[in-house]
Amino acid sequence: MSRSAVLARQPRLIWPALMPQIGLGLLAAVHGLLYLLVIPPWQAPDETSHVEHTLLWLKLGRTATPADAAAAPEIGQAIADSLYTFRAYEYLGYSAPDPRVGLLRAMPFFGSSTTLGRFSLAYPVYALAVAPFAGADILTQLYVLRLVSVALGVATVLVAYVTARRVASETPELAAGLALLMIFIPQRAFINASVNDGNLAEFLAAVTFYWLVDLLQGGLTGRRLAACAAATLAAVLTKSTALFLVPLLAFCGGGAWLSHLRRAQRWPWLMTAAALMGLVGLSVVIIAWSPASGPALAVLSRGGVGLQQAIAQRLAEEAFGALQWQMFQTFWASFGWLRVNLPEPLYVFWAAIALIGVVGLPLGGWTLIARRQTSVGVTLLLGAAFCWLVPVAVYFVVPASAPLHQGRYLFPGLVPLGLLVVAGWLGLVRRPRASLALLGLCLITLDALVLWGTALPYFYR
């Protein structure tokens, strides 16, 4: 029976069923707008260079290089002037350069942040959105771009909600909980209210995950496989932190293919075998097609050859614990250019939220996800997603070369991660709604304390 036929049988349920989505979408939008307004201009990681690259893309119609920036100095000049206007250096604890620096590239700190020369699908998307405002001042353009980010964030929440309903339709609390978690992770709200290529990558990763679930639940069709491959490719082309989707696609595609051949969907070992087969082929194809194949292949080769070595190296570092703590902090909330840290008790609360989710998963959370006839594949998918996010954490969040460690690079994997955490919460007690209520209140309280109690005094005192 087709989906439309099912819905046609339940016409009175369509509108009520959509209301939570509308409500959560509006909540995500308003919450995003609040962050957009409260966070001062240029006070998000690399926002200056993302805006510069977008405007150069708009002007040139291609990926810009540092030479292009030099040939179009008016953009860098406008950003540099704006940095002075909005006391950007004061927020960092520095004095603004005196005499005044006229170009972004020549400015200390902000000038060293660059995305030029690096392809990302995010720039043409942002450029398209800001095209009607090509003649506007730099601040108007910045806020138009921030608005696009908020819209992407809302879309991501909605896709996550729909995905969670597919995963556990008998437990609508799981979908609501995932949406609330995504809305009220302060760092995600903060990044989604700023200009950043990660926002599109997160959205495309969520779309990919939806199609992967659809593939596993609905069976192999050309349309589904094409949708999965297209979404994965787009996500990888946007940001390399989405590379974990490639093995996931291979895993699911191979599994669905073998299941399709055997006319059976309840053989987990087939999925595992398929992963090995599909991994090589699809990974190579997608990576090879990608214009970002150079850095992507470099990452994969590191992953293939040196993952164990890299982990051992990290473990040997004296500051390993501190790095992990920094990763945890920057996953939940660290505003500005990672300078606005919160009182540690707040992070402890988030750690407790994550821990409760982990503990609750084997105690009852799995049963929420694995209740369906088609849930074996989805369960494996969630497990595989979690495993494949580890290399992301090792290579992108805590890279050996960079002094900053940013948990936000895990956001493209937020749908599977969030599903696991929320399922753990809901599985702990017999009444998932009570558990969801507690989780929701915890998240809302922490977000309020961060936004109003930390960000506001930091930026406006």
Task: Give the interface segment with another protein, choosing from 15-23, 94-102, 287-295, 384-392 (CB under 8 A).
Answer: 15-23
Which range binds another protein by CB under 8 A, 170-178, 228-236, 335-343, 403-411?
Answer: 170-178
Q: Is 260 in the site for another protein (CB under 8 A)?
A: yes
Phi-psi region of 186 (alpha: psi -120 to 50; beta: other; left: phi over 0): alpha
Residue 362 is encoded by which pair of tokens? 């084997």
Tokens of 330: 């920057």
The yes or no reply on residue 221 touching another protein (CB under 8 A) is yes
Residue 448 binds to another protein (criterion: CB under 8 A)? yes
CA 58 vs. chain centroid, Å, equals 25
1 sits near another protein (criterion: CB under 8 A)? yes
- Mapped onto helix, strand or coil, the DSSP state of residue 131 is helix
Residues 105-164 interacting with another protein (rule: CB under 8 A)? 137, 139-140, 143
Which one among 124, 219, 306, 399 touches another protein, defined by CB under 8 A?
Answer: 219
Give the one residue of 223, 289, 344, 390 binding another protein; rule: CB under 8 A: 223
Q: How far is CA 450 from each of CA 130, 190, 238, 270, 344, rounded to the nearest angstrom?
A: 30, 11, 29, 46, 12
Nearer to another protein, 62 or 223 (CB): 223
Taking the least distance from each CB to another protein, the nearer of 13 and 322 is: 13
Looking at the Cβ atoms of 92 and 444, the one nearer to another protein is 444
Q: Which residues make beta-bridge pairs with 335?
A: 340
Q: Which of 177, 203, 242 is nearest to 421 (CA)?
A: 177
Cβ count within 10 A of residue 287: 18
Q: Directed axis angle between helix 172-184 and helix 11-38, to 10°?
A: 10
Contacts of 50 (CB under 8 A, 6+ apart): 115, 122, 126, 145, 195, 196, 197
Residue 3 main-chain phi, psi, to 5 deg: -60, -40
Single residue of 61, 66, 70, 85 touching another protein by CB under 8 A: 85
- CB atoms under 10 Å from CB of 66, counted, come to 11
Residues 28-67: x/- map of binding to another protein (CB under 8 A)?
Answer: --xx-xx--xx-----------------------------
Binding site for another protein (CB under 8 A): 1-3, 6, 10, 13, 16-17, 19-20, 23-24, 26-27, 30-31, 33-34, 37-38, 85-86, 137, 139-140, 143, 165-166, 169-173, 176, 180, 217-223, 259-260, 265, 372-374, 433, 436-437, 440-441, 444-445, 448-449, 451-454, 456-457, 460-461
